[in-house]
Structures are given as C-alpha cells and as structure tokens.
Amino acid sequence: MATSDDFEISPGKSIGDLGNEALWFVAHSIIAVVIMVATIMVMGIFHPDPNAAGPKELGTVLCFLIPMLAGFVIARMGGNQIARYVWITGLLMFSAVCVWVLDLPTGNGLCEGCGALDKLWRTFFSIDHGSGLMAGQGLAVGTWAPLALVGYALGSGFGLEEE
C-alpha cells in the first residue's frame, strides 16, 4: 500500500508549504475583494445616481485601479509570490457567476427572451441597458469583483518584479 511519503506532491515542497501557500492565496483573494467593497462603499458616500452611466464607469475603473495599487503596495512591503496568482480566483468567480446567470429565468422585464450571449453581455458589461437579472447586481458581482482580483494580481506582479 502506498503512503503519502511515496508521492512527490510538488518539487521540493512539503504538504505544510503547500498549505501555507493555499492560505496566502485565500488571504490575498479576500484582501482584493475587501478593497473593492471599500471602494464601492466610499463611492456610495457621495450618493451617485444608480441609473447614470458615469458612476458605473468610474466604479469599473476604480475597482480595477485601487486593488492594483494595493497589490503593488502590499507586494513592495514584503508580499509573497502567491499574490500574483489571485487572478485565477477572479476567473473562477466570473465563470461561476456566468453559469448562474445563464440558469436564471427571463421573464417580463428588461431581458425578456434574451439569448445566452445577450444575457451575459447585458448583465456584466452593459452600462445603460442592463438585463435586470441578479437584482441589478451583475456589474458588481460579475464584473467588479473579478476585475478587482485581476487588478490586485497585476499590481502584485509589478511590485514583485522590481525586487
């Protein structure tokens, strides 16, 4: 019978090292999302018009740039190499939310009779003509959160390159 010592898990890394990396991966992912939520909360202080395109466009830009800046700063302060891989969390989150949106029923409203591509486009990327699915939170959940994770990973990568 084979034991865990018979298998090489990752070149030169113990199970404890891999567990430590997994915890850092989760921690950096949470940091990126918390920074995005803080950005949205700060924007909310100014009570932007929820139907206007300007605040949504500004939110999209800020939800990318602020986590990117934070990832850069954290990496420069002694971050680890794992931070540059949190874009994977963003990709998985976006994929899961896409599957969820595709499974949502359309009915009377903004996206009545929408096809799959139209559902996704109007839920995640349309500023002016949303789908009405996900209670109107498709931009925040499906676009801004993954964008914040990608921005954080890019910022971390830039911060680690200069070392």
- Domain assignments of the chain as residue spans, ordered by start: 15-161
Whether residue 159 is predicted with pLDDT greater than 80 in this model: the reply is: yes
pLDDT tens digits, 16-62: 888 899 999 999 999 999 999 999 999 999 999 888 889 999 999 99
Six-digit token pair at 136?
A: 């109107």
Buried-exposed string 26-36: b where 16+ CB fall within 10 A, e elsewhere: eebbebbbebb
Cα Rg of the chain (Å, integer): 19
* Residue (of 81, 68, 3) closest to 36 by Cα position: 68
Residue 11 CA from chain centroid, whole number: 30
Residue 107 to residue 90: CA distance in whole angstroms: 29
**Mean pLDDT of all residues in the chain?**
87
Distances in Å between the Cα of 117 and the Cα atoms of 60, 98, 104, 114, 122 are 21, 10, 13, 8, 8
Residue 29 to residue 74: CA distance in whole angstroms: 13
